[in-house]
A and B are shown apart, each in its own frame.
Chain A
Amino acid sequence: MSGLEIRGLRVSFDGFTAVDGVDLDVRAGDLRFLIGPNGAGKTTLVDAVTGLVKARGSVRFGDEELLGRSVHRIARSGVGRTFQTATVFEELTVLQNLDIAAGAGRGAWTMLRRRTSVPEEVATALDTVGLAELADSPAGTLAHGQKQWLEIGMLLVQDVRLLLLDEPVAGMSHDERQATGELLRRISEERTVVVIEHDMDFMRSFARSVSVLHAGRVLSEGTVAEVQADPKVQEVYLGHAATEDAGDLAVREA
């Protein structure tokens, strides 16, 4: 298992600096929550780590420097992510979705033939995320929460060692959140997990450690209790969190 080590990360768009010198260490096997108000730079941080946006600074995962690599190469070095709105291949079945996720390393010959059986890691993932019964349903017909689980399942079969999840429980019912949280806990026993979340209850229940981002910088870091006790956090974040908690479901950060 490897940890994530970010040094002096900066991302700017047309003069606007979204991430402004972030240093962050996530040790191997952590279940880290990233919180912060809209515009704090949480999603941009994940975008930078996964190669979606250009950034300066350094992002090391294990022994490897990720910055400057293309998206699919970063993915192949064991870093996977999900998106705020669940992105699964709607026309393909659950099984096909997972099979594709499992197959980045396949050779041409395998690719050009049909899938004749269910690969073992896919079968395992189906059970882990509880979608075994829906294996042959098109992913487009899944409920919102099920899609999120499918995405997590895809990260599992992809065998990533670092999972970056962007609001995985948004729009889920209470029971689903509970199930998701427990799933993440299990996953983090073998892998490193970073979760962006607005849901404070969910964070309190499952976070092993928390980083608070504000205006592109890390404001505070520590356990849930430590962060909650931090007056800076109370001032800039929790202060207006109450009003935003409900409303930030679909609104994208600018």
Chain B
Amino acid sequence: MTVILGQTFTGISIGAVLLLIALGLSLTFGQMNVINMAHGEFIMAGAYTTYVLQKSISSAGISLIVALPVAFLVSGALGALLEWLLIRRLYLRPLDTLLVTWGVSLMLQQLARDIFGAPNVQTRAPDALTGNITVIGGADPLTFATSRLFILGLAIAAVVALSLTLRLTPLGRRIRAVVQNRDLAEVSGISTARVDRTAFFIGSGLAGVAGVALTLVGPIGPTMGTNVIIDAFLVIVVGGIGRLRGSVIVAFVLGVLQAVLEYSTTVSVAKVLVLVAIVAFLQWRPQGLYTLRTRSLV
């Protein structure tokens, strides 16, 4: 029983990490249809931001809290810059965007290597986030890692913030308008170029926030982005492009599936099985879990 509950929590926490790294993509890929392979490097930028901040702020707790907004701004700015330099020229060629941004991601990785050195760097986590809390005591206690709870909370907060932004703010309405009908939005006086850049800023900024969270559970190094990027894309693809709700559900389902399979088989087999399950799922719902029905031909 403890094992089942423990693995379920593990699955949910894996899902929370997936959701956090995929959330930015749900905006840039899901809404704007830009396949940004450098998204992983924006995550990396967020993690390095935490590292740099810790050099000047000695308290691990305060530096982590400060790092969240700063990483959002740093990665967001990188994203906006990328959008302005390259992606805006490529909106009609999504597949080319994939390859171009892959080139960008290569360069960003090398840049990180040149600035911070090839080896991974360490950050300190606040002590409160390195332990666990006991949920059920006894000989086989059920414990939840505090770092995982923090990430889960952060992921939920980010989802709520993003969906409220999209729903309630004028900016969100403009983004949705542009997504639904670019031409119409343009003639209605919305500067689509500015909306694109802002959306990209937010999406990339969310990657930065994910980077901060990842410092609690994983390595901080030049290649940390490439480790997670495909998983993140899969979450969006399976969830259904343009649907936040789908991404949220799929992230948690994939997380739990991964945790269950890992426990009963091996990590490698679990990874392969999850990928096979995804291919099979797309057979059933080729457009993902939730679909936007449109009548456009393309």
Contacts and interface: CB of A to CB of B under 8 A. Distances in A.
| Contact, chains A and B (beta carbon distance below 8 A) | yes
Interface of A: 13-14, 43-44, 47, 53, 83, 87, 252
B297 A13 contact: no
A14 B293 contact: yes
Interface in B280-298: 293, 295, 297
Interface in B247-298: 293, 295, 297
Nearest to A251: B184
Nearest to B291: A14
9 contacts: A13-B293, A14-B293, A43-B295, A44-B295, A47-B295, A53-B295, A83-B297, A87-B297, A252-B295
Contacts of B295: 43-44, 47, 53, 252
A83 to B, nearest CB: 7
A53 B295 CA distance: 9
Contacts of A43: 295
B188 to A, nearest CB: 13
A132 B170 CA distance: 54
A44 B294 CA distance: 12
Interface in B216-270: none
A2 B297 CA distance: 28
User: Lowest 5 CB-CB distances: which A-B pairs, in order?
Assistant: A13-B293, A14-B293, A83-B297, A87-B297, A47-B295
Contacts of B293: 13-14
A254 to B, nearest CB: 9
Given A13-B293, A43-B295, A83-B297, 6 more contacts: A14-B293, A44-B295, A47-B295, A53-B295, A87-B297, A252-B295
Q: Which of A43, A87, A252 has the most CB of B within 10 A?
A: A252
Contacts of A44: 295
B92 to A, nearest CB: 14
B231 to A, nearest CB: 30
Nearest to B298: A87
B7 to A, nearest CB: 37
Contacts of B297: 83, 87
A43 B297 CA distance: 13
Nearest to A18: B295
A53 B296 CA distance: 11
A252 B293 CA distance: 15
Contacts of A252: 295
Contacts of A14: 293
Nearest to A53: B295
Nearest to A83: B297
B39 to A, nearest CB: 30
Interface in B188-202: none
Nearest to A250: B183
Nearest to B293: A13
A71 B128 CA distance: 60
B222 to A, nearest CB: 41
A105 B297 CA distance: 24
Nearest to A44: B295
Contacts of A53: 295
Nearest to B292: A14
A82 to B, nearest CB: 12
B298 to A, nearest CB: 10
A87 B297 CA distance: 10
Interface in B10-30: none
A145 B293 CA distance: 30
A74 B60 CA distance: 66
A13 B291 CA distance: 12
A10 to B, nearest CB: 16
A47 B293 CA distance: 14
A87 B293 CA distance: 21
Contacts of A83: 297
Nearest to A85: B297
A250 to B, nearest CB: 8
A50 to B, nearest CB: 12
A123 B128 CA distance: 80
A87 B298 CA distance: 11
A105 B226 CA distance: 47
B185 to A, nearest CB: 13
Nearest to A252: B295
Contacts of A13: 293
A73 B297 CA distance: 18
A43 B293 CA distance: 16
A150 B60 CA distance: 69
A140 to B, nearest CB: 15
